[in-house]
Amino acid sequence: MPLFKKAVLLSLLLFSLSGVSILGAAVALVNKSDGLIPQGVSIKGIPVGGLSTAEAARKLENSLASPAENNLIIEGAGNNCFINLADIDAQYDCPTSVNNALIYYNKVTYANQLINILSLRARPVEQTLKISFSREKIEERIKGIKDDWDKPAVDATVTLSGDEVVIIPATMGYQLDFEKTVKKTIDVLSEGNLQVTAAGQILKPGITSEVLAGIDSLLAEFSTTFDEGAVNRSHNIALASSTLNGCLVKQEEIFSLNKRLGPRLADTGYLLAPVFIGDHLDLDIGGGICQVATTLYNAVILADLPVLERAPHPLPVSYVAPGRDATIAGDYLDLKFANNNDTPVYITSKAENGTLTIAIYGQKKENDSNVRITSEKSVIDPEVVINEDDSLPEGEIKEINSGKHGYEVKVYKEVLKNNEVISKTLISSYYLEPENRVILVGPLPKGNEK
């Protein structure tokens, strides 16, 4: 055989023997690792490679600190809450953790096992430490977090400090999503992690400081008084006042008191109190809110805002002069005005110590005018009505009604500049019919008849 052919055959033989040797070594390496966690695997930073699952579990149990020495951290909305693992009955599940480390390697082919073994020696891998816990206690703790963290957004407000208008900035609110945060916490713990970002949303205020930026003056303020001893009526006034407080009316917007207050029902917190029904007083839900309407009506006039809708009471009320009252009822009697300014106006309302005060803020007018309300009152004398009553003794006179004066009131809005009236507008008139004086007389003595 030529020398060249012998060399080729020898080379092929040596190559075949090398392949068999490498394959054998690989099979031996895989077989040696069978049932053991591959080298290069760690759980929670503790090397467990080359150990059986039982050995690895014991090593973890002996090496890990007690769960009571670790905390679950839930963060969100700029807050952090630390929950000790012992408080949720957390335990390290070492058997499951080490078994999981073998699952992947037991399911793949010899070739893939060999690749994994060699890869792990070059690049060690950290496996998850499984944790068991009480879902009920997690839910209990997250409910407490929600109670602590949840807060409503607070609108920017306007107040008066001395003669200066001060804008108090708005603040953001937060609402934690309980169900989603529980799920996230369980998912994170199940993977052996101890840091959770709560699920929730930031709540934005309806009125921001930027919206109120143009408001620099108190345009008008008006007060009326009420009897705090009338408990239900006082309650209704306070409730309606609170609902009105903080109302922003944008430029060119039409304000409706009915819309702002909503239905006055027992379900919305209103109580039985006296109201006008026709020309007499009776009990109804929401009695007293007309005093809020009246107080606002006068403030609106003094702020020089156009009144679009207003209805008076059928009879005079005790808390304001005749012709200056306003009533609302159901959805058919309303108090409406328009903001015809170039900037928003802001309404505050406060009922305390028997006084209801409503203020309207806005941008100071360039013409530097102010408004006052005046009235003219004409007294109307009652007529005298004489009726004969045969049941009375002859010639006897008996007054059964002394009568009452009536009056007519005309109310004006006067606009002043430099203390001089530059306009005077009739805004309402009120007529109260006099009550006749009634006199009964007995029959005339005989002989005096005419």
Q: What is the pLDDT, as a whole number, of residue 125?
A: 66
pLDDT 10s digits, 121-174: 546 566 777 788 899 999 999 999 999 999 999 999 998 888 789 999 999 999
Check pLDDT > 60 for residue 18.
no
Q: Please report how many Cα atoms fall inside a 13 Å half-sphere around the Cα of residue 111, on the Cβ side.
A: 0
pLDDT 10s digits, 288-309: 999 999 999 999 999 999 999 9
Q: State phi, psi for 337 to the nearest 5 degrees.
A: -145, 165
- Rounded to whole angstroms, the Cα distance separating 69 from 137 reads 18
Q: State phi, psi for 221 to the nearest 5 degrees.
A: -150, 140
- Rounded to whole angstroms, the Cα distance separating 373 from 163 reads 23
Q: What is the pLDDT, as a whole number, of residue 368?
A: 77
Contact 134, 89 (CB under 8 A): yes
| Mean local confidence (pLDDT), 222-245 | 97
- Rounded to whole angstroms, the Cα distance separating 175 from 146 reads 8
CA 440 centroid distance within chain: 66
Higher pLDDT, 41 or 351: 351
Higher pLDDT, 297 or 276: 297
Contact 410, 429 (CB under 8 A): yes
Tokens 């208008």 locate to 165
Lowest mean pLDDT among 18-22, 48-52, 162-166, 400-404: 18-22
pLDDT 10s digits, 333-353: 999 999 999 999 999 999 999
3-state secondary structure of 142: helix
Q: What is the pLDDT, as a whole number, of residue 31?
A: 43
Check pLDDT > 70 for residue 30.
no
pLDDT 10s digits, 179-207: 999 999 999 988 888 899 999 999 999 99
Check pLDDT > 70 for residue 14.
no
Query: pLDDT over 90 for what percent of the chain?
Result: 58
Q: What is the pLDDT, as a whole number, of residue 322?
A: 93
Mean pLDDT of the chain: 85
| Mean local confidence (pLDDT), 273-300 | 93
